[in-house]
Amino acid sequence: MTFFFHYLTRKNRFSKRRKSLKSAAAQNSSSSSGHDDEQQQLAAYRYSTIIDLPSHILIDILSRLPLKSIFISRCVCKTWHILISDPLFATLHFDRNSVSNPELYLRTDFSTCISRTLHWVDLESFPGYNHAQCQWAKINAQFYLPKRYPKPNPKACTSNGNSNRGNRRAGREYDVVNSCNGFLCLRKPFHRNPCIICNPITGEYVTIPKPAAEDDKKTLRTVISGFGYSFRSKQYKVLRLVFDDFLNRTAEIYSLGGAAWRKVGNAPWSPIAGLFPTYLNGVIHWVCDDIEDDQSCSDCIVGFDFEDERFCVVPAPPHFAKKPKTRDNLYDMNLGVLGGCLSICDVTYFAPPDIWVMKDYGVQESWIKQLSVDNGYFGICRPIKYLDDGSLLLFCKRRALVLYNPVEKNTRYLLIHEDQSMIFEAITHVPSFLSLKDVGGDNLTVQNINSRSDQFEPEESETLFLIEMRKAGELLY
């Protein structure tokens, strides 16, 4: 806010000065030499305030601001609001926001439903977040996902005539598949079919057409999805893997803006459905448990290349060859992106998690153990990002954040809500102002999330607080 205070103060001061110069120029118009002097002085103050700069320079400056400052800038004046809505601004802002620095969003996972409200956790803007005396922080910023049922359906009742609103699945909003280039792919909660692409920052979303072979009555089938980008064709693509049984594994692709799904062969492996996929370098990654080698975890990471539309095996850390391929071992692995590199968090129960990163993508020998979080035990966790002070932010036990400083070897524990029965979903996402209208062509019908007209559950609009705990044990029970 200090920047904008100085800007408005200087704008007012120079505006008065320009008026006085114009007045002086009018009074001395009889003297040609005096008139020339005044014109030169006016020209000198032509770009005396930031708002007088050419549009392309202003866009360049605004695109370098942090996300929170950009939202404030949109409210400064109509000119800035228009500039921030310009496609050039969206492109520059996206190019400067590296995949190595995603933001963390939380949404509540209640016993009856999953919220469509995303709570943006901007830790570095919290006063005193890196000081021991900070005991709590308030999460204010909220964004919204499309509502699954925009209007209540009075006929949505159970067989005995009672409302099914209390049923968990009936009130469940869309699940998040993964994030790619500022967009989120959402899926249906029942059969996990991908159905929505949205930008929570702009509020835009599009509906993905149903596959021709989709049959919602086939409850035994498993559907696994992924969302990514092809750099060569400059197309966003949605992948759908359908497993009717062990012998029938179909892979289908939908290109954003296209007319229909198309088959791209059979899926050679079955990724673990309960783990989130990770997108990086044009490839969507999963942990898989049915590779031919059933003895070790050396080839447990599989991917789909959106460029060539083919499946691939991504080499795991070399020591995984000695790690037995058990279901517990596989479910204790969390794929992610740290510092722009593919990462894996290897958690052996009741032991500190090891963070591995692949420095040179695709090269097995480039895996290095970046750190071990060796200060206290806090259960299954997921690394999110490195903060400016070098601390690693982790999401743990679905209800807490952990800040671990690898240099000082100290750990801070932040409970997301004082009610420890509440659990949350963590979404890592690089925010962008890219418009779906600009990336999908004319064949897309872009809609906007009208949050004002939607009715929210009381808990959806609840403000979240981060509450510091004294020790890890308070997070476990």
- What is the C-alpha separation between 234 and 49, in angstroms, rounded? 39
Q: Which of 115, 51, 55 is nearest to 85 (CA)?
A: 55
**318-321 own/partner pairs: CB under 8 Å, 24+ apart:** 318/364, 318/365, 318/367, 320/296, 321/296, 321/297
* The pLDDT of residue 161: 38
Residues of the chain with CATH 2.120.10.80: 97-476
DSSP-assigned beta bridge partners for residue 56: none
Under DSSP, the state recorded for 296 is: B
Q: φ and ψ at 276, to 5 degrees?
A: -70, 140
Segments of the chain with pLDDT less than 70? 1-48, 110-113, 124-136, 149-172, 213-220, 245-247, 273-274, 290-299, 321-331, 348-350, 375-379, 418-420, 450-462, 470-477
What CATH number was assigned to the domain covering residues 97-476?
A: 2.120.10.80
Per-residue pLDDT reduced to its tens digit, 172-196: 678 899 999 999 999 887 777 888 9
Q: How many CB atoms lie within 10 A of CB 429?
A: 22
* The pLDDT of residue 154: 41
* The pLDDT of residue 358: 94
Per-residue pLDDT reduced to its tens digit, 2-14: 444 344 444 444 4
Q: How far apart are the first and last CA of the chain?
A: 41
Q: Name the pairing type of β-strands 423-429 and 222-230.
A: unpaired
Q: Over the Cα atoms of the chain, what is R_g?
A: 26
Per-residue pLDDT reduced to its tens digit, 72-107: 888 888 888 999 999 999 999 998 887 777 899 988
Q: φ and ψ at 19, to 5 degrees?
A: -65, -40
Q: Which of 367, 422, 426 is nearest to 402 (CA)?
A: 426
Question: What global pTM score does this model have?
Answer: 0.81
* The pLDDT of residue 8: 41
